[in-house]
Amino acid sequence: MPCPSKSDDLVFFVNGRKVIERNVDPEVTLLTFLRKNLRLTGTKYACGRGGCGACTVMVSKYDPVLAKIRHFSVTACLVPICSLYGNAVTTVEGVGSINTRLHPVQERIAKSHGTQCGFCTPGMVMSMYTLLRNHPQPSEEQLTEALGGNLCRCTGYRPILASGRTFCVICTELFAEDEFQPLDPTQELIFPPELLRMAEKPEKQTLTFHGERVTWISPGTLKDLLELKAKHPEAPLILGNTSLGPAMKSQGHFHPILLSAARISELSVVSKTSEGLIIGAGCSLAQVKDILAERVSELPEEKTQTYRALLKQLKSLAGQQIWNMASLGGHIISRHCYSDLNPILAVGNTTLNLISVEGARQMPLNERFLAGLASADLKPEEILESVYVPHSHAWEFVSAFRQAQCQQNALADVNAGMRVLLKEGTGTIEDLSISYGGAGAVTVSAQKSCQRLIGRPWDELMLEEACRLLLEEVSLPGWAPGGKVEFKRTLVVSFFFKFYLEVLQELKKLAKFMPVSGLDSHHYPEIPDGFLSALEDFPITGPQGVQRYQSVDSHQSLQDPVGRPIMHLSGLKHATGEAIFCDDIPTVDRELFMVLVTSTRAHAKIISIDSSEALELPGVVDVITAEDIPGTNGAEDDKLMAVDEVLCVGHIICAVVAETNVQAKSAIEKIKITYEDIEPVIFTINDAIKHNSFLCPEKKLEQGNIEEAFEKVDQIVEGEVHVGGQEHFYMETQRVLVIPKAEDKELDIYVSTQDPSHVQKTVSSTLSIPINRITCHVKRVGGGFGGKVGRPAVFGAIAAVGAIKTGRPIRLVLDREDDMLITGGRHPLFGKYKVGFMNNGRIKALDIECFINGGCMLDDSEQVTEFLILKLENAYKIRNLRFRGRACMTNLPSNTAFRGFGFPQGTLITESCITAVAAKCGLLPEKIREKNMYKTVDKTIYKQAFSPETLIRCWNECLDKSSFHSRRMQVEEFNKKNYWKKKGIAIVPMKFSVGFAATSYHQAAALVHIYTDGSVLVTHGGNELGQGIHTKMLQVASRELKIPMSSMHICETSTAMVPNTIATAASIGSDVNGRAVQNACQILLKRLEPIIKKNPEGTWEDWIEAAFEQRISLSATGYFRGYKAFMDWEKGEGDPFPYYVYGAASSEVEIDCLTGAHKKIRTDIIMDACCSLNPAIDIGQVEGSFIQGMGLYTTEELKYSPEGVLYSRGPDEYKIPTITDIPEEFNVSLLPSSQTPLTIYSSKGLGESGMFLGSSVFFAITDAVAAACRERDIAEDFTVKSPATPEWIRMACADRFTEMIPRDDPRTFKPWSIPIA
Distance between terminal CA atoms of the chain?
49
Distances (CA, A) of 940 to 85, 339, 877, 901, 952: 68, 54, 8, 19, 16
Q: What's 1265-1297 look like in SS3?
A: HHHHHHHCCCCCCCEEEECCCHHHHHHHCCCHH
Give strand pairing partners of 215. Answer: 210, 257
Rounded to whole angstroms, how far apart are CA atoms 416 and 412?
A: 10
List beta partners, residue 209: 216
Q: How many CB atoms lie within 10 A of CB 946?
A: 18
- Chain centre distance of CA 898: 15
Interhelix angle for 964-977 vs 1255-1271, to 10°?
40
DSSP state of 617: S
Asked if 1149 contacts 1260 with a C-beta cutoff of 8 angstroms, the reply is yes
Q: How far is C-alpha 656 from the geometric centre of its chain's CA atoms?
A: 30
Comparing CA positions, the residue from 95, 86, 23, 19 lying closest to residue 57 is 95
Q: Is 1248 a catalytic residue?
A: yes
Whether residue 138 has a cis bond before it, omega within 30° of 0: no
Q: Is 1176 within 8 Å of 158 (Cβ atoms)?
A: no
Alpha helices by DSSP H, 135-181: 140-146, 158-165
446 DSSP 8-state letter = -
The C-alpha atoms of residue 1217 and residue 774 are separated, in whole angstroms, by 39
CA 1022 to CA 1056: how far, in whole Å?
Answer: 14
Strands 810-813 and 592-598: parallel
Pairing of strands 829-837, 715-723: antiparallel
For residues 896 and 860, the answer to whether their CB atoms sit within 8 Å is yes
Query: In sequence order, which residues have a C-beta less than 8 Å from that of residue 526 and are 6 or more positions away?
Result: none
Name the helix (H) or strand (E) containing 573.
helix 571-576
Contact, 49 vs 1212, CB < 8 A? yes
Catalytic residue selected from 679, 1248, 1276, 1287: 1248
Q: How many other C-beta atoms lie within 10 A of the C-beta of residue 679?
A: 6
**What does the alpha-carbon distance between residue 36 and residue 26 come to, in Å, rounded to a whole number?**
15
Q: How many helices (H) and strands (E) does the chain have?
A: 39, 48
Give the Cα separation of 932 and 878 in Å (integer). Answer: 7
> Residue 777: CA atoms inside 13 Å, Cβ hemisphere, count?
16
Beta bridge partners of 1053: 778
Element at 287 (helix H, strand E): helix 285-298
Distance CA 350, CA 852 (A): 52
Which residues are bridge partners to 481 per DSSP? none
Which residues are bridge partners to 841 per DSSP?
none
User: What CA–CA distance (Å, rounded) separates 403 from 1157?
Assistant: 7
Which residues are annotated as catalytic?
1248
